[in-house]
Structure 1
């Protein structure tokens, strides 16, 4: 029997900002071989010697130029099955809050970006499962104040 293994070699990050008392989430349109033209949130690999939190902060900076004011672990995992190599890719999902006036500077991995109310982001997200993660984030980080023990980094 050949086992399906789990590999956790990356992270995902949902960025949120509040504008006029409305919470918006950042979606990025991919411009790479993986998920080309897909609308999604931030994702990337964990580099040698990095923790997942360090990878999340690096990927946020690389993909958007942003530095979150607060970064939380969502207590949720993203997962994708790779049928060619017979493994399940898992990634911890983080939630970052950025200042409403923060300027997004996307890198070459993306074609464009949008800040959307979360219900519109749920509808626009392309990758299967992203809608479930965004719905979870909406319930636990938008409709409610995030639980303090989930905070992994705060600026200042």
Structure 2
């Protein structure tokens, strides 16, 4: 009797965005506290679904504006994926991670999905994030987008 191998499906239906803002000489990371039933009270960076007809980068711009009210951002793809396994639905969720540099004049205006926000140093953000794996994403972003200048090839142009 042969056993058939079963694959775990991979779903890539969303995006993640880490926003950076310079305070003096230091870049800080925006973390948001979830207010809805999905991940309630979890501290995380921006995340959301890709809507029909959108590319991932278009979703990133939309989610930034919806969740924070920020409209001016210099956006890069990071070449990093946010991922987790859902034991309830038996799939692996993967989302491309984008990095956005925010201008000084851009203020955060949260929507209903979040109850609080904080601009934190990378060390503080690493201690604050709730989900395992978020710390790896933040460490990667710090190395490639704060301590080093990102490649121009990773820059996302807003073609609205």
8 A Cα contact 1:68 1:96, kept in partner:
no
Unaligned runs of 5+ in 2: none
Deviation by residue 1:119-143 (Cα, 9 ceiling, x = unmatched): 1111111111100000000000010
Instruction: Give the equivalent residue in structure 2 for 1:90.
Output: 94
- Structure 1 runs of 4+ aligned residues shifted over 6 Å read none
**2:40 aligned with 1:13, yes or no?**
no
Aligned with 2:134 (options 130, 134, 139): 130
Report how far residue 20 of structure 1 moved. 0.8
Contact 2:72 2:106 in 1 (8 A): no
TM-score under structure 1 length normalisation:
0.96
1:53 aligned partner: 57
Asked if 1:117 corresponds to 2:121, the answer is yes
Please tell me whether the aligned partners of residues 67 and 98 of structure 1 are also in contact (alpha carbons under 8 angstroms).
no
Larger radius of gyration: 2
> Matched residue of 1:72: which SS?
strand
| CA distance in structure 2 between the partners assigned to 1:36 and 1:14 by the alignment | 19
Cα displacement string for residues 45-97 of structure 1 (whole angstroms, at most 9, x for unaligned residues): 00011100000000000000002431000000011111122110100000000
CA distance in 2, matches of 1:18, 1:74: 18
